[in-house]
Chain A
Amino acid sequence: MSAALEVGQVVAEASFPLTRDSLVRYAGASGDFNPIHYRDDVASAVGLPGVLAHGMLTMGLAVQPVVDWLGDPGRVLDYQVKFTRPVVVDPETGAVVSVVAKVGAIEDAAVRVDLTVTFGDQTVLGKAQVRVLPPAE
């Protein structure tokens, strides 16, 4: 299977509907209780357009389609992102974060998978790269 990979090939994609509940759940699981992630009054007081998803929540979910493709989380060697734009989560309609994972480069044993992570029509992560050992046969 790995021999057949080509640069540019889409290996996984998924969409994640986020609600305010998702943010509260992530706050509890991660211990990041910054109120800009669940309180509209605090978010607006510091000049934000609304309550934002934790950047680490976006980073955390964006790699999951890749893990499912790999079939083993131990095949993730390195994962990095830049946080470039916020994901504003509406209290009623939430927000949908979409992920497309493509082969960016093929190294000796490892493959670099590049993630395009979007909210609306804008990317929210930059240089989102996962170095992986490709799936076993």
Chain B
Amino acid sequence: MPVNPAIEGRTYPPTAPYLVGREKVREFARAVFATHPTHLDPEAAQAAGYADVVAPATFPIVVTAATLDQLLGDEEAGVDFTRVVHGDQRFAYSRPIVAGDELVATMTVTSVKALGGHSMVTSESSIADASGAHVVTATSTLVVRGDE
């Protein structure tokens, strides 16, 4: 079943706030082989001018898990997760994420295209902090394979 093109332009409600924890940042940093001390050591982060450890560049993918759930849970969208392949990913930053941030993601489906039996769904999740200021926008394209 192809993805419903009518979801193009749809914006989902803001996600519940995600509180960025110091140990989660350190755990994620170790998992992506991040060794820079600002990711791991609060004192090094503070010496560099940050309130706490800095999340690695791809950490927003953790925050956008809730927006992916919104898309998969949208019955009108018709996205079958067992057929999903990650096509591309981008993070455009206003500022880095640091431990202590409380982040909310708001996702908009920016494009749904059919390509040789597959569907390509591009979405943009705008992530803001507790003051409402933009932190990072995560843009993903998922390729949903058609029936073989």
**Which residues of A line the B interface, CB within 8 A?**
16, 22, 25-26, 28-32, 46, 55-57, 59-61, 63-64, 67-68, 71-74, 76-83, 127, 130
Contacts and interface: CB of A to CB of B under 8 A. Distances in A.
B96 A57 contact: no
Given A25-B30, A64-B36, 18 more contacts: A26-B32, A28-B27, A29-B30, A59-B58, A60-B31, A61-B32, A61-B33, A64-B35, A67-B34, A73-B56, A74-B48, A74-B54, A76-B93, A78-B90, A78-B91, A78-B93, A80-B90, A81-B90
A118 B92 CA distance: 24
3 shortest interchain CB distances as A-B pairs: A60-B32, A80-B90, A29-B31
A76 to B, nearest CB: 5
B65 interface: yes
B62 interface: yes
A64 B54 contact: no
Contacts of A73: 36, 38-39, 54, 56-57, 96
Interface stretch (B1-9, B81-89, B107-115): B81-89
B28 interface: yes
Nearest to A82: B88
Contacts of B12: none
> For chain B, what secondary structure do more than half of its interface residues adopt (helix, strand, loop), or is it mixed?
mixed
A53 B138 CA distance: 21
B61 interface: yes
A64 B58 CA distance: 10
B35 A30 contact: no
A113 to B, nearest CB: 12
Contact of B57 (A16, A55, A60): A60
B90 A57 contact: no
Interface in B31-49: 31-36, 38-39, 48
B31 A26 contact: yes
A71 B93 CA distance: 17
A126 to B, nearest CB: 8
Contacts of B56: 60, 63-64, 67, 73
B133 to A, nearest CB: 15
